[in-house]
């Protein structure tokens, strides 16, 4: 029987999102084939947050994903997470399409996998941002709604001749350009972003909703079917 498998935290911490997924995986419970974290929670309401193997509903691609089973009722699949700058998010479009980072650390799941998860049914996205331990914000994507995804090698923003991906030193659904740049350069909170060719002060890991415009300490994006 095919089973959803729970992965130990030590295993997941070293697991990259690539085709080289060969790891010690612990069979926790036979849940059948599941396509996302929401289905895991539906089948087993006591499921804990952690790392699970899923099979995407259309492509049948198997992925190890990090499931948040606590926030706002749980069932969320984490597709973006940053907290220490260990992963470089200034990547080309192919990298953003296929994903980079790892399930136990900083992460970009991959545009093609994010799209497939979202296409399965009506879905919602939650974005949580932290500047300091006392300063948090739940953000939204209204300004960037329907904008195509741009990277330094695939400029599709609405601000020619400039490239928002270069100016903001990241990849994003840039419009002209964005108030939220959570795929920008991770710099220590309290400092500014200084990168050759990029727009100083705006190229960092930040969100304009914070009054001072300081760099963020943490950011996460999670997806759930409704």
Residue 188 covered by a domain? no
CB 127 within 8 A of CB 145: no
Domain holding 91, by residue range, is 5-137+221-225
Predicted structure pTM score = 0.84
Answer with the residue of higher pLDDT: 6 or 87.
87
Residue 57 covered by a domain? yes
**Structure confidence at residue 200 (pLDDT):** 66
Residue 192 covered by a domain? no
**Structure confidence at residue 9 (pLDDT):** 41
Domain count, the chain: 1
Tell whether the model's pLDDT for residue 160 goes beyond 70: yes
Taking CA atoms, 3 is separated from 10, 12, 27, 173, in Å, by 20, 18, 8, 35
Residue 1 pLDDT level (bands cut at 50, 70, 90)? very low
Residue 182 covered by a domain? no
pLDDT tens, residue by residue, 44-101: 999 999 999 999 999 999 999 999 999 999 999 999 999 999 999 999 999 999 999 9
CB 166 within 8 A of CB 178: no
Residue 201 covered by a domain? no
Which residues lie below 8 Å from residue 163, measured CB to CB, with a gap of 6+?
A: 150, 152, 155, 157
* Residue 29 exposed, middle or buried by CB count within 10 Å (0-12, 13-18, 19+): middle
CATH of the domain at 65: 3.90.215.10
Tell whether the model's pLDDT for residue 2 goes beyond 70: no
Identify the H or E element spanning 11. helix 9-13
**Structure confidence at residue 32 (pLDDT):** 75
Average pLDDT score over the chain: 83
């Amino acid at each position: 029987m095919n089973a959803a498998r729970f992965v130990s935290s030590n295993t997941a911490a070293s697991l990259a999102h690539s085709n080289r997924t060969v790891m010690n995986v612990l069979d926790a419970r036979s849940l059948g084939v599941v396509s996302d974290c929401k289905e895991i929670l539906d089948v087993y309401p006591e499921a804990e947050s952690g790392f699970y193997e899923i099979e995407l509903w259309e492509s049948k691609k198997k992925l190890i994903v990090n499931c948040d089973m606590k926030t706002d009722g749980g069932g969320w699949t984490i597709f973006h997470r940053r907290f220490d700058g260990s992963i470089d998010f200034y990547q080309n479009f192919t990298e953003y399409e296929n994903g980079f980072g790892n399930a136990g650390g900083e992460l970009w799941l991959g545009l093609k996998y994010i799209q497939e998860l979202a296409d399965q049914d009506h879905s919602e996205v939650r974005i949580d941002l932290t500047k300091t331990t006392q300063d948090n914000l739940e953000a939204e994507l209204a300004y960037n709604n329907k904008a195509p995804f741009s990277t330094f090698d695939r400029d599709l923003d609405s601000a020619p001749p400039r490239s928002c991906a270069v100016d903001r030193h990241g990849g994003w659904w840039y419009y002209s350009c964005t108030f939220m740049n959570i795929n920008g350069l991770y710099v220590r909170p309290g400092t500014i972003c200084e990168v050759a060719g990029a727009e100083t002060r705006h190229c960092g890991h930040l969100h304009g909703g914070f009054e001072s415009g300081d760099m963020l300490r943490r950011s996460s994006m999670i997806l759930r079917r409704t």
